[in-house]
Every structure is written in structure tokens, then in C-alpha cells.
Amino acid sequence: MVTVTFAQRKSAVLSPSRLACLRNVATINLTRGCAHACRYCYARGYSSYPGDGCVVLYTNTLEKLRTELARKRKRPQAVYFSPSCDLFQPVPQVLDLGYQVLAYLLGEGMNIALLTKGVIPPEHFALLCRHASRVRVQIGITTLDAATAACFEPHAALPEVRMAQIRRLIAAGIETHARVDPMLPGITDDPVTLDTLFAELARCGVIESAISSLFLRPTILQVLKRELRGTRYYDQLNTRLTACQRLAIHADQSTVSALSQGVRRELYQRVHLIAAAHGIAVHVCACKNPDIARGSCHIAGRWEREQEKRDHPVLFNEMGIGRWQG
């Protein structure tokens, strides 16, 4: 049960991000709080977090967006949904506003990138399909196990639904990648579980995935331990997180708790090999792993390439790299 309250947004709708991967894009949050209620969600630690089971919907988003976009001399390369919530939360008012905002931006010729763990409703799906070349999607998936997903991502789409969405998005010609993030220590990061997951992703047509292990703001770590006590996940997670290190990450101004650098390095190497065996290239999220990774996990797509293709179509064709594949 989610309580929705309504608010007028005072700050700008299109926000820049501190994350390197979002450098050239503008970001939008339609809500404060997120109905998916993932237990590990970093947004639960924000001072503006409205509390579990509550979302605040900014009802003047579209109106403000029209004004902002009209005033912009240089438009962002793309608009990214959403740094601190999900576009497809199971809340009718959020979905309605999301559709209107998407339709407006796509109608204005903007590029859209989105990351979701939600169910994409048919009308939203059809809209995205009509503008397939200007849409990039990452589907967040942490496990194929419905019970584990129900514990850690109680109101997000079932794993099988996310997989089906990946298949349909790719079939519709929308560049769609997976985001296996977070890998839960001792729960979803063992070789057999990972192999099963990447095999299924490959069957769905995935050729790229962003990955990261779990990182937790200190307050969320305490809450998570409390919430999981008595479940079959507690011992595994507690044991592995006891040896965690504090890490300053690009995604946040505070430090977070993460597995040690050595453990993460080993894990990412293992995932790289497992994914490669299924024909999937992985990118470690460098914003969360600044001590290990470089480059981008392409959370908001690769729009530079699209621009280059438009500017130098012949060169692209001769080089045979016109396909968006990294």
C-alpha cells in the first residue's frame, strides 16, 4: 500500500548530475521516494526521503518542463529517468504523469534514457516503440529468484516480467541493456547464480550489462540488517558485510559501505568471464567503484555515437561500426 501526496516542485525539473555517466544529460525525478521500496536503495538515506510506503508526486512537472525547455539555448543530449526514483512505479498517478512527460519530450525530439525495475505499461511501451531510435533502456535485474526479489525489491516487477520486457524492447528495436546492480554479497553473487542469470539475459538478446556489487549508505546498512533479521538472507549478508570497507563514491557526497576492493575486483573479474561466455560485455559502474573502474557504464546510453553517425555516415559505414554496440 503506497500513500501518494502531491506537491509543487520549486526547483528546476531538468537537473544536471554529478555523475560522470550523466555528464551531458539532464535528469528528471517525477517523485520523491519510490514505490518499489528496494531495501538497498540509496535514496532511502536522503534527508528528503518521505518514508517507506510514501511517494511525493510533483504535479507541476510538465508545466515547468515546457517553460524550461523553451528557454534553453542548448538542449541536453538526452533526458534520463531517474536518478532517485523509477518512472514505472505501480502508482496510477505516477504512471499518468510519466506518460505525459515522456510524450512531451519525445514529441519535442528529445532523446530519452531510462533505467527501470518496474512494469512498463502497454501504452508507455507503445510510445517508446514509436520513437525507438531515440530511446535507450537499462533494465535493472538482480536475481531470477522470485523470493529473493520479493524480499529485496518488494514492489518492483517480477524477474520474469523484467526478462520478458527486455526481450520485447530488443525485438522492438530499442537499444536495451541489463543492469545487474546490486549483486548481493553471499546471496546473488556466487558463480552458479550469476551464470544462470547471464545465460538467461543472453537468451533474451542482451549483449551488454552494467554491473556493481552492493554499496550502502551507513544508515541503510543498519536498517537493512534490522529488516533482514530472521530471514534466510541475514547471516549471508551480515557475514559478508562485516568485512566491508568505507568508500568515497562519485554518486554520493558521503562515504558508503562496500565490499573490500580485493573482493570486488575478484567478483567483477569473475562476472566478466561468466558474462563473456554468454556473449555479454560488462561494464563496472565506475561511479560506485571509483577505486577500481574507469569509464562509463552507459547508464544513459551512448548518444555521442548517434551524433557521430549523423555527422559522418560514410565513415561509419566503411568502418562497419555503425551499430550501437560499444
DSSP 221-278: HHHHHHHHTTSTTHHHHHHHHHT-EEEE-TT-SSEEEE--HHHHHHHHHHHHHHHHHT
Residue 80 and residue 19: Cα distance in Å, rounded?
A: 12
117 binds ligand SF4 (CB under 6 A): yes
> Does 252 sit near ligand SF4 (CB under 6 A)?
no
Here the cell at position 62 is 510538465
Q: Does 34 bind ligand SF4 (CB under 6 A)?
A: yes
- Is position 119 an interface residue for ligand SF4 (rule: CB under 6 A)? no
Q: Give the range of 4-12, 30-38, 196-204, 306-314 binding ligand SF4 by CB under 6 A.
A: 30-38
Residues 204 and 198: their CA atoms lie apart, in Å, by 10
Asked if 41 interacts with ligand SF4 (CB under 6 A), we say yes
* 94 belongs to the binding site for ligand SF4 (CB under 6 A): no
As measured in angstroms, the least distance from the Cβ of 27 to ligand SF4 is 12
The interface region with ligand SF4, picked from 38-46, 242-250, 287-295, 315-323 by CB under 6 A, is 38-46
Cα–Cα–Cα angle for 22, 83, 105, nearest 5°?
Answer: 75
- Would you count residue 43 as binding ligand SF4 (CB under 6 A)? yes
Binding ligand SF4 (rule: CB under 6 A), the pick from 30, 38, 97, 201 is: 38
Please report how close the Cβ of residue 36 comes to ligand SF4 at its closest, in angstroms.
4
| Beta strand segments in 105-174, E | 112-116, 135-140
Buried b (16+ CB within 10 A) or exposed e, 185-211: bebbbeeebbbebbebbbebebbbbbb
Q: CA 295 to CA 284: how far, in whole Å?
A: 9
CB nearer to ligand SF4: give 156 or 280: 156
Of residues 85, 105, 221, 249, which one binds ligand SF4 by CB under 6 A?
A: 85
Q: What are the residues binding ligand SF4 (CB under 6 A)?
A: 34, 36-38, 41, 43, 85-86, 117, 156
